[in-house]
Structure 1
Amino acid sequence: MFDSKDIALDLRTPCAQVLPYRRSQGGAMSNVTARQCAARWGIGDAAARRILAPLKPIARDTETGAMLYDQAEADAAHNSRPGRGTRNDKTASPMPDEQFEQLVNDDSIPAEHRALWTLLRDGHARIVDALSLDVRDVDLDRREARISYPKKEHEPRSIPLTERTTDLLRQIKGDREDGPLITGAHDRPLSRETAARFARQAGADSIHAFRPRPHQLGTTPRFGAAKVAAREVRVGDTLYWDGREIPVSSVKSVTAPSGAVDVQINLGSDFPIFAAAEEPITIAERQEAE
């Protein structure tokens, strides 16, 4: 039987966003996904994945492919986390390219921090998404990392990996087949607080200085620009992205097992762009069809 607290939690859980809980023969809730945990705990999906990262998944959900965790272990991990801190690491100023290259190429800096920095700079990843990556989320041969639950639903579910990011991730992954991708001392998941503190010690204004742009898309050019959904981008367009104009040489739509559609633009180039199908993209110039 469930007590009133369990019933209240279930009533507050949006039925359209979570899957039914798996129950053992004794009736107790057993296996849950990160999204179910997030709904129960009242936090974001990415934050729930951070909490679940040290745990070993039991299996994958047959319908969505999401990892399943023992609920008792998940709740214990959630209850043992420290209290909320104060965010003081925000900045709007990207780090100069010369300083970034010097830090990333400094072999005296632990590879896990340099890998995180390149995910932010080269892959345009959010910090919480990068730190939430599991080893199984990364395909180093295809040079791609998959985000199961982006911080915002309209954002891309894939992170393109540059050659140097792939090399750094290969170093920190080693021969591991599962578990958190970016780890620190004692193979524990690298926390946001530790990453932010180390970034400041390395000379950055904050961890956000490693990002090439704010969380939103680049500022729209003053003249001759329009926004379209990523699925409407065409070869021959010129995109305005991260303050620069990017000619489009290839466009490919990819459907994930969950049904989400991603658009891969200029795949295989020095500046690939991964976007969700409905994500707004700024077109600086468009060649009209004849």
Structure 2
Amino acid sequence: MTLTDDRITAERLEELLGDDSVPLAHRALWLLLWECELKVLDLLSLETGDVDLAGRRVTGVSGRAVPADEGALSGRAVELLAGLIGARATGPLLAVGGRSLGWEEVVRTAEERGHGIHAFRTGGKLQRRADSPAAGE
């Protein structure tokens, strides 16, 4: 079993997002985990229609609406997702070669880069907490 970091720093995230040897779907997942309040399995279940790129947010997951503050997307996330979706109007959002990412695959890919899959969400939450106005008070 490989030991992995339990959180990711912003610098490490940038390094991973810039690694073109990692499929775009994985890099998009990592950024979504960092930015959103959605769980890994919720993100893996997203369809292309669950994302409003123009509105910069995830609108729904598994048949339920996602509050705007939980599904907000940065410009960078919109860029990654637009590249991932391309001309597809339907189908799984996070897909490689038309096949949606699965749990074992995302865990393995993150671990190959030295991180547990949940470390992306943990790192993002810590970063958002540090960036919040209340953190400086």
TM-score (norm 2): 0.80
| Corresponding position of 2:58 | 145
Distance 2:132 2:10 in 1: 19
- Deviation per CA, 1:167-202: give whole Å up to 9, x if none: 111111010111111112x41111011011011112
Q: Deviations over 1:189-225 (max 9, x none)?
A: 1101101101111221x111111359xx87xxxxxxx
Q: Aligned letter for 1:179? A: G
Q: Which has the higher strand share?
A: 1
Q: Are the aligned partners of 1:143 and 1:166 in contact in 2 as well (CA < 8 Å)? A: yes
- Which of 107, 118, 127 lines up with 1:208 in the alignment? 118
1:111 aligns with 2:21: no
1:95-144 Cα offsets, whole Å, 9 max, x none, are 12221110011222211110000000022321011111110111111111
CA contact (8 A) 2:8 2:123 kept: no
| Percent of pairs with identical residues | 35
8 Å contact kept, 1:94–1:210: yes
Code of the aligned partner of 2:121: R
Aligned residues: 135
Unaligned runs of 5+ in 1: 1-87, 219-240, 248-282, 286-290
What corresponds to 1:171 in structure 2? 83
Spell out the pairing of 1:119-138 with structure 2 (5 A cutoff).
Answer: 119-138=32-51
* Structure 2 letter corresponding to 1:172: L
What is the aligned-residue RMSD (CA, Å)?
A: 3.3
State how far apart, in whole Å, the 2-side matches of 1:243 and 1:92 are: 19
Q: Distance in 1 between matches of 2:109 and 2:6?
A: 18
- The answer as to whether partners of 2:8 and 2:119 remain within 8 angstroms in 1 is yes
1:95 aligns with 2:5: no
Moved over 4 A (4+): none
Partner SS state of residue 71, structure 2:
strand
**Larger helix fraction of residues:** 2
Instruction: Tell me the residue number matched to 2:110.
Output: 199
Higher RCO (C-alpha 8 Å, min separation 6): 2
Larger Rg computed on CA atoms: 1
Match of 1:183 in 2: 95
Q: 1:92 to 1:126 in 2, by over 3 A?
A: farther
1:246 to 2:132 alignment: yes
